[in-house]
Amino acid sequence: MAFSVSRLASRLSASRYVSSVHSVRRLSVSQHHWSRQAKVGFIGLGNMGGPMATNLIQKGHSLVVYDVSSDAAARLEDEGACVVGTPAEVASQADRIITMLPNSQHVRSCYTGEHGVFQAVQAGTLILDSSTIDPTVSKEMAALATKKGAVFMDAPVSGGVNAAKGATLTFMVGGEQQEFEAAKELLSAMGKNIVYCGGVGNGQAVKICNNMLLAITMIGTAETMNLGMRLGLEPKLMASIINTASGRCWSSDTYNPVPGVMPNVPSSNNYQGGFGTALMTKDLGLAQDAATATKSPTPLGSLSHQIYRIMSNSDLAEKDFSSIFQFLQEQEE
């Protein structure tokens, strides 16, 4: 049955909101089965958002998309998405919105800016932010969404670009539990592990902790491989032993930082694509902010942040974060 967006919006505002003089009682978006005719909005079509949006199209969703980069938007247009000129235009056409932006500042401006999502968001809209940002910004956006009668959940991802392409991402979801099923229904088109982590901001909390550990293990893997190679070991042999021994980790067996050890990873492609050094530096900064706020000792997280900050000021800033291997290799022998 055809189901227009405007009919959907009026149905949502009529059925989900019971107004009184002082309050608006919101009913769960989970109680609504989304119409396939209604569009999914997608904002931020970069290394991760691009393939995630592609997967939504391939699973039969109609997309309305926006990116500040017209090249990124054009790639999705070629795949059948409708491209618009502002986040507000996305919000006016979609009852579900996903954002995949670099950092907290981008998210804040995308939602609260002059032509931002909150200028036009419809009551009853489900918003999922998959960017990795400060959990306090997620809480701020959720409070603003509530004022508009919408639902905001944080849903950062783990898995990298290959998992984004293969729709095997892990989503760490924070927000009201009653809305989780609605979020899961949509996120399942882009990932295989959709995990409820608690209140809004908790998805970001898990993600920040995971990425601090990832940075530590990536630096450890890179310095270990570099040492072994300077001892005369052949890197593939060395990796194969580590990967069946106690030093094994994701950085060694899935995303090895040494060029040529594994196919289809950024290190074997001049560290192009993947997860940028600048983004890892940002995540380590978020972890340090959280450590300060909670008075938690994170000596290795702090050192990793310093190392990636130095790399961010080098020509490796735009390369994948596994280029820490190249950074160490270039140091004096």
Q: Tell me, residue by residue from 131 to 150, as one string, x for binding to ligand NAD by CB under 6 A and - for no binding.
A: xx------------------
Backbone phi, psi, residue 318, to 5°: -90, -5
Q: Is residue 271 involved in binding ligand NAD (CB under 6 A)?
A: no
Interacting residues of 214 by C-beta distance below 8 A, sequence separation 6+: 250, 251, 280
Q: What part of residues 87-106 is at the interface with ligand NAD (CB under 6 A)?
A: 100-102, 106
Q: How far apart are CA 217 and CA 252, in angstroms?
A: 8
Q: Which of 39, 148, 207, 282 is catalytic?
A: 207
Q: Which is nearer to ligand NAD, 149 or 174 (CB)?
A: 174
Choose the binding region for ligand NAD from 7-15, 39-47, 231-239, 260-268 (rule: CB under 6 A).
Answer: 39-47
With H, G, I as helix, E, B as strand and everything else as coil, classify residue 278: helix
CB of 226 closer than 8 Å to CB of 329: yes
Among 135, 149, 160, 174, contact with ligand NAD (rule: CB under 6 A)? 160
Q: How far apart are the first and last CA of the chain?
A: 69
CB of 52 closer than 8 Å to CB of 61: no
Rounded to a whole number of angstroms, the minimum distance from the CB of residue 214 to ligand NAD is 10
Q: Is residue 110 involved in binding ligand NAD (CB under 6 A)?
A: yes
Among 45, 128, 142, 172, contact with ligand NAD (rule: CB under 6 A)? 45
Q: Is residue 111 involved in binding ligand NAD (CB under 6 A)?
A: no
CB of 261 closer than 8 Å to CB of 236: yes
Which residue is at the shortest CB distance from ligand NAD? Answer: 46
Helix (H) / strand (E) containing 199 = none
| DSSP-assigned letter for residue 35 | P
Q: Is residue 48 involved in binding ligand NAD (CB under 6 A)?
A: yes
Interacting residues of 13 by C-beta distance below 8 A, sequence separation 6+: 122, 123, 124, 149
Rounded to a whole number of angstroms, the minimum distance from the CB of residue 25 to ligand NAD is 33
Rounded to a whole number of angstroms, the minimum distance from the CB of residue 332 to ligand NAD is 31
Among 121, 150, 151, 157, contact with ligand NAD (rule: CB under 6 A)? 157
DSSP conformation letters of 279-315: HHHHHHHHHHHHHHHTT---HHHHHHHHHHHHHHTTT
Q: Which is nearer to ligand NAD, 118 or 275 (CB)?
A: 275
Q: How far apart are CA 63 and CA 144, in angstroms?
A: 24
Choose the binding region for ligand NAD from 44-52, 54-62, 216-224, 263-271 (rule: CB under 6 A).
Answer: 44-52
With H, G, I as helix, E, B as strand and everything else as coil, classify residue 237: helix
Task: Tell me whether residue 207 is one of the annotated catalytic residues.
Answer: yes
Q: Tell me, residue by residue from 218 to 237, as one string, x for binding to ligand NAD by CB under 6 A and - for no binding.
A: --------------------
Q: Is residue 275 involved in binding ligand NAD (CB under 6 A)?
A: yes
Rounded to a whole number of angstroms, the minimum distance from the CB of residue 86 to ligand NAD is 9
Q: Which is nearer to ligand NAD, 41 or 149 (CB)?
A: 41
Q: Which is nearer to ligand NAD, 50 or 149 (CB)?
A: 50
Q: Nearest 5°: CA angle at 90, between 86 and 91?
A: 115
Among 12, 29, 161, 186, contact with ligand NAD (rule: CB under 6 A)? 161
Q: Which is nearer to ligand NAD, 26 or 319 (CB)?
A: 319
Q: How far apart are CA 191 and CA 48, in angstroms?
A: 12
Residue with tokens 């009184």: 20
> Which amino acid is residue 172, in one-letter code?
M
Helix (H) / strand (E) containing 251 = helix 250-253
Residue with tokens 């508009």: 148
Give the catalytic positions in this structure: 207
Q: Which residues bind ligand NAD (CB under 6 A)?
A: 43-49, 66-69, 72, 100-102, 106, 109-110, 131-132, 157, 160-161, 274-275, 279, 283
